[in-house]
């Protein structure tokens, strides 16, 4: 297992997880393609709430619903193989993909622990005016069997000392935290907030545990794991994103203050 740890691997995650040993990962935190790209809309001059860019990436496109379900079943099956019996899995989703993700996990008899709602304080505007403004995404949290880690007491600090509920408010990733490309626009179209990922990891794992993200993108899971002293394994099949993720990890490692305040 050692050769996989604390590195980003450029690979297809289904193939690489097939090569990894069984039952060694304590927690999987991941943000797979949502199958949400259908042509895209770019409107930098939008007047109802600011510039608007809709995700439209090749890696996020599947021919139809059943191809996406098939892809989800395949990667979830390999994830199940590498996850320890006491491990759990947290998967990001939206109305586009959450149904397929839940089906794939239920088919493997996983236990549904929580459906966490991420309420965005600054959602993208709704430019079609044909639907409500989409202001939420979700994290489904499932356990392989009993005995999963839940740092119940530690979570209370996020709700003034009371039990933490399953609706969390964060802004979308912005400001100095958002990695920019040469054109000044986001280097990765779906970079997730560090605050969300570090809380997920803190909630479902302990120091030195192994956290796997098979869809690492710009490296949010790795940076969050570094911040709170977890081991991690990252996989992405896009070299550009691997480079961004490596750079972010290096930058976080070089900081003496490894907290979210670095970005505020």
Ligand X SMILES: C[S@@+](CC[C@H](N)C(=O)[O-])C[C@H]1O[C@@H](n2cnc3c(N)ncnc32)[C@H](O)[C@@H]1O
241: contact with ligand X by CB under 6 A? yes
230: contact with ligand X by CB under 6 A? no
- C-alpha 100/C-alpha 191 separation (Å) is 22
Backbone angles phi, psi at 84, to 5 degrees: -65, 155
Q: Which of 78, 100, 195, 236 binds ligand X (CB under 6 A)?
A: 236
C-beta closer to ligand X: residue 86 or 251: 251
C-beta closer to ligand X: residue 198 or 220: 220
- C-alpha 77/C-alpha 34 separation (Å) is 18
Q: Are strands 7-10 and 167-170 parallel, antiparallel or unpaired?
A: unpaired
Provide the minimum distance between the beta carbon of 245 and ligand X in the complex, in angstroms, as a whole number: 8
- C-alpha 174/C-alpha 191 separation (Å) is 9
Asked whether the beta carbons of 252 and 220 are under 8 A apart, the reply is no
C-beta closer to ligand X: residue 53 or 86: 53
Site residues for ligand X, 11-40, by CB under 6 A, read 12-13, 31, 33
Site string for ligand X, 127-166 (x = CB under 6 A): ----------------------------------------
- C-alpha 16/C-alpha 124 separation (Å) is 35
Piece in contact with ligand X (CB under 6 A), picked from 61-69, 131-139, 186-194, 255-263: 186-194
Q: Which of 8, 205, 231, 237 binds ligand X (CB under 6 A)?
A: 237
53: contact with ligand X by CB under 6 A? no
Site residues for ligand X, 188-207, by CB under 6 A, read 188, 190-192
Strand partners for 7: 233
Backbone angles phi, psi at 36, to 5 degrees: -110, -5
72: contact with ligand X by CB under 6 A? no
- C-alpha 144/C-alpha 89 separation (Å) is 8
- Phi-psi sector, 209: left (phi>0), alpha (psi -120 to 50), beta: beta
Binding site for ligand X (CB under 6 A): 12-13, 31, 33, 59, 188, 190-192, 215, 217-218, 220, 235-238, 241
């Amino acid at each position: 297992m050692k050769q996989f740890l604390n590195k980003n691997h450029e690979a297809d995650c289904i193939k690489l997880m097939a090569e990894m040993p069984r039952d060694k990962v304590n927690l999987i935190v991941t943000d797979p393609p949502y199958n949400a790209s259908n042509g895209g809309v770019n409107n930098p001059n939008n007047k109802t709430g600011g510039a608007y860019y809709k995700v439209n990436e090749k890696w996020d496109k599947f021919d139809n619903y059943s191809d996406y379900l098939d892809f989800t079943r395949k990667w979830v099956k390999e994830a199940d193989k590498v996850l320890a019996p006491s491990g759990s899995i947290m998967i990001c989703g939206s109305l586009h993909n959450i149904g397929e993700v839940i089906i794939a996990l239920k088919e493997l008899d996983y236990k549904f622990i929580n459906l966490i709602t991420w309420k965005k304080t600054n959602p993208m505007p709704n430019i079609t005016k044909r639907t409500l403004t989409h202001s939420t995404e979700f994290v489904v949290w499932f356990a392989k069997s009993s005995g999963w880690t839940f740092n119940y007491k530690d979570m209370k600090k996020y709700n003034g000392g009371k039990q933490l509920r399953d609706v969390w408010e964060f802004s979308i990733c912005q400001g100095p935290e958002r990695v920019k490309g040469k054109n000044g626009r986001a280097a990765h179209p779906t970079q997730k907030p560090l605050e969300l990922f570090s809380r997920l990891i803190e909630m479902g794992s302990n120091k030195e545990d192994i956290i796997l993200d098979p869809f690492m993108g710009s490296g949010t899971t790795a940076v969050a794991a570094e911040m709170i002293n977890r081991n991690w394994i990252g996989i992405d099949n896009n070299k550009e994103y691997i480079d961004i993720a490596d750079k972010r990890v290096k930058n976080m490692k070089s900081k003496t203050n490894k907290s979210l305040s670095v970005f505020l």
